[in-house]
Amino acid sequence: MNTAAKEHAASMDFHGKQASKSQNVSDRFGTVLTADLTSRECRCDPYPDAATDFLGGRGFNAWYLYHHLKPGTDPLGPDNILLLSTGLLTGSAAPCGARLHINALSPLTGILGSSNIGGYTGAWLRSCNLASVIVTGVATEPVYLYVHEKGARLVPAKDLWGLDTFWVQDRIRQNHAHENIRVLAIGPAGENQVRFAAVMTEKDHAAGRTGMGAVMGAKNLKAIVIAKGTRKHLPADTPQKKLAVKTYAALVRNASEFSFFSRYGGSGYLKWVNDFGIMGAKNYNDIGMTDISPIDGRKLAKKIVKTSGCFKCPVQCKADLVMDPAKPDEVSTRPEFEPVINFGPKCGLADMAAIVRLDNLCNRLGLDTTSTASVIAFAMDLEEKGLMPADLKADLDLSWGNARTMETLIHRIAGRTTKLGLLLAQGVRHAADQIGPKAAACAAHVKGLELTAYHPNAIMGTALGYAVSSRGGDYNNVYASLEYSWSKEQALEEFGTTMAVDIHATRAKGWLIKKAVVTNILVDCLGLCKVPVLSLLKSFNLEPEIALVNALTDTAFTKDDLMDAGEKIAALERRFNLRHTVLPLVDHLPDRFFSFKDNPVGLTRETLTAMLAEFYYAMGWDKSGVPPDPDKAGENQQISAYSYLRN
């Protein structure tokens, strides 16, 4: 047993078994911390041997929840389980290895809640030899979980309850001024159990989607604080490993769009997405804007006062802004691609200063910007169509692009105040159900999760991806950018037809989305960021990443090894959703998209059905989208390729 594992086992704060796994497995996976908020006990256990097949991060979480969460669990009740897991390369010498994956049963969708966050918290957990944190039960009063390399404990947090995410991090840093800490925190939205509340670290790193902040709030868990340890996870301690790290970093830096993304961030692509003709506007009633220039994110480069980024990432795409030179002390963070589109075109707002303000307000209050902007756009759409009940509208001007109303609604949603704030805090599906049948036509969601920036009537792969995403209607959970970034030659070699990369075509989209789904899962399991891997390197076959993994872990993975694991995890997430959903698990799009006024690709129920059939076939699922029964197939059999990680 390594030194760090011995220190864990000896800690006064931990209760439970000592680590007994082999040195190699401990080195590669670390240990697992369980914090029971009801009993106030923390314990450290060895990484489960059966879970090594699932690599870590998103894969470990799916495996654990599938085997430990009971059907019928209330997402906001004490029996829900919150998991925070690092990927295999998180906190290692690997460039871009900073990601932490968070899962629980979602209070917004009722199925698998899933979100991913960057920054430094994942690396700090790894430095304590921790691969995962499992939070169970509920505290009788507000607490935060304090983690360090020798143990963990629960700390009273009554004085922190009510603070926004910026203030609570500052206060906790003051309390631990002598330590190098990182903080995951919720704001008032999480405390008030807004169904799409986010978990924040720093001021601009968010685990936003599916309401993981609400799960923390329901558990009276205000924050998770990690003090940096001394453990070096998968260091580059040989010439071969150093060369592998250097080679991968050079690939990222030499990518054609590296300089652009590093300088402008995701918001720099607003003009591209508008010109490409795939951007949703005015709650998806329109595609694109006539004039995108007022919110062209490239213009924010003039406002930058500081750049930053995640642990060991060469891209460093985050930025602090001063929007008004006359007020140099008023510093904002630069919004990413999705928040600019969601608060901008989706809500009919063309004021970049207002978009920056609204994005930062959501971060401060702990709200997912995509769902928040979507529920506001939903309300504005109802108003325009004459469907907004007068008692809900009250004193608000719900016309498109009214930034003052949007700011007011953000406060009311986070605080769950007024009838409309209470209603919208439940998400568009629940809100539409309560307003009435006609409101459903304005509710743009799949499985209860509000859609992201791309308009499904404009790009076929994204339309299919929205329908089948394991967390509901979301682009980043599928990240099918190969549909427009791969060449025709690549498509012909991979899929047998160039139609796969024609955004208006339906052929081969099932196979394309399978490739995207599986690759996306693997990136989340490895703990890498999708920006360098999938946007810059367009590495959907993960060949550079496999070389990096093999070098740092002394293994011999092949592409087939990883893809097989990704398919297994996709099936596990699917089975989890089938087991836990209260509503029928329908892979579909809202009816509004089948009667869209300007349907450039001719999206119909028939074309979507055909794409779904192809996707199910590609995944090896039956015609209803049900994976094979793992018990009959021998679910407990270990994948032989992963014996490398256990031996």
- Which pLDDT does position 4 carry in this prediction? 35
Q: Are 493 and 500 in contact (CB under 8 A)?
A: no
Q: Are 619 and 472 in contact (CB under 8 A)?
A: no
Phi, psi dihedral angles at 438 (to 5 degrees) = -65, -30
* Residue 13 pLDDT class (50, 70, 90 cuts): very low
d(CA 452, CA 123): 28
Helix (H, G, I), strand (E, B) or coil at 53: helix
Residue 515: HSE in the Cβ half-sphere, 13 Å Cα cutoff: 24
Burial grade of 332 (CB within 10 A; 0-12, 13-18, 19 or more)? buried
d(CA 535, CA 537): 6
Mean pLDDT to the nearest integer, 515-534: 98
- DSSP tag of 12: S
Q: Alpha carbon of 195 to those of 339, 388, 480: distances in Å?
A: 18, 21, 26
Q: Dump pLDDT digits (tens) for 419-446.
A: 999 999 999 999 999 999 999 999 999 9
d(CA 344, CA 289): 10
d(CA 64, CA 518): 19
Q: Dump pLDDT digits (tens) for 470-482.
A: 999 999 999 999 9
Say which amino acid occupies 347: C
Of 12-21, 295-304, 309-318, where does mean pLDDT reach its minimum? 12-21
d(CA 282, CA 348): 5
User: Both tokens of residue 130?
Assistant: 């921790």
- Which pLDDT does position 582 carry in this prediction? 84
- Which pLDDT does position 29 carry in this prediction? 83
Q: Are 515 and 500 in contact (CB under 8 A)?
A: no
Whether the predicted pLDDT of 9 surpasses 70: no
Whether the predicted pLDDT of 218 surpasses 50: yes
> Would residue 585 be called left, alpha or beta, if left means φ above 0 and alpha means ψ between -120 and 50 degrees?
beta
* Residue 24 pLDDT class (50, 70, 90 cuts): low
Whether the predicted pLDDT of 501 surpasses 90: yes
Whether the predicted pLDDT of 10 surpasses 60: no
Q: Which residue from 382, 377, 424 is spatially nearest to 402, judged by alpha carbons?
A: 377
d(CA 158, CA 66): 33
d(CA 528, CA 531): 9
Helix (H, G, I), strand (E, B) or coil at 136: strand
- Which pLDDT does position 629 carry in this prediction? 80
- Which pLDDT does position 584 carry in this prediction? 83
Mean pLDDT to the nearest integer, 492-501: 96
Mean pLDDT to the nearest integer, 520-547: 98
- Give, rounded to a whole angstrom, the gap between the first and last alpha carbons of the chain: 15
d(CA 55, CA 52): 5
- Which pLDDT does position 16 carry in this prediction? 33
Residue appearing with tokens 């059939």: 613
Q: Are 1 and 20 in contact (CB under 8 A)?
A: yes
Q: Are 230 and 133 in contact (CB under 8 A)?
A: no
Q: Mean pLDDT across the chain, nearest whole number?
A: 93
- Which pLDDT does position 597 carry in this prediction? 77
Nearest 5°: the CA angle 298, 601, 473 is 65
Say which amino acid occupies 420: L
Q: Dump pLDDT digits (tens) for 88-125.
A: 999 999 999 999 999 999 999 999 999 999 999 999 99
Beta-ladder partners of 156: 143
CA 356 to chain centroid: 21
DSSP string across 444-496 = -EETTEEP-SB-TTT-HHHHHHHHH-TTSS-STTT--THHHHS-HHHHHHHHS
d(CA 83, CA 130): 12
Residue 382: HSE in the Cβ half-sphere, 13 Å Cα cutoff: 27
Burial grade of 174 (CB within 10 A; 0-12, 13-18, 19 or more)? exposed
Helix (H, G, I), strand (E, B) or coil at 117: strand
Q: Which residue from 158, 126, 138 is spatially nearest to 47, judged by alpha carbons?
A: 126
Task: Enumerate helices (H) and strands (E) in the chain, giving the number of each.
Answer: 27, 19
Residue appearing with tokens 């199925």: 111
d(CA 428, CA 424): 7
Instruction: Express as a percent the part of the chain with pLDDT over 70.
Output: 92
d(CA 403, CA 93): 44
Q: Dump pLDDT digits (tens) for 254-273.
A: 999 999 999 999 999 999 99
- Name every residue whose Cβ is closer than 8 Å to that of residue 248 and which is 6 or more positions away in sequence: 94, 95, 544, 545, 547, 548
- Name every residue whose Cβ is closer than 8 Å to that of residue 121 and which is 6 or more positions away in sequence: 100, 182, 183, 184, 201, 224, 226
CA 499 to chain centroid: 29
- Which pLDDT does position 596 carry in this prediction? 85
More reliable by pLDDT, 25 or 208: 208
CA 314 to chain centroid: 21
DSSP string across 350-411 = --HHHHHHHHHHHHHHTB-HHHHHHHHHHHHHHHHTT-S-HHHHTT----TT-HHHHHHHHH
Whether the predicted pLDDT of 636 surpasses 80: no
- Name every residue whose Cβ is closer than 8 Å to that of residue 511 and which is 6 or more positions away in sequence: 495, 500, 614, 615, 618
More reliable by pLDDT, 20 or 31: 31
Domains and CATH numbers, the chain: 3-227 (3.60.9.10), 270-443 (1.10.569.10), 450-646 (1.10.599.10)
Q: Which residue from 112, 76, 88 is spatially nearest to 28, judged by alpha carbons?
A: 88
Neighbours of 328 (CB within 10 A): 9
Whether the predicted pLDDT of 239 surpasses 80: yes
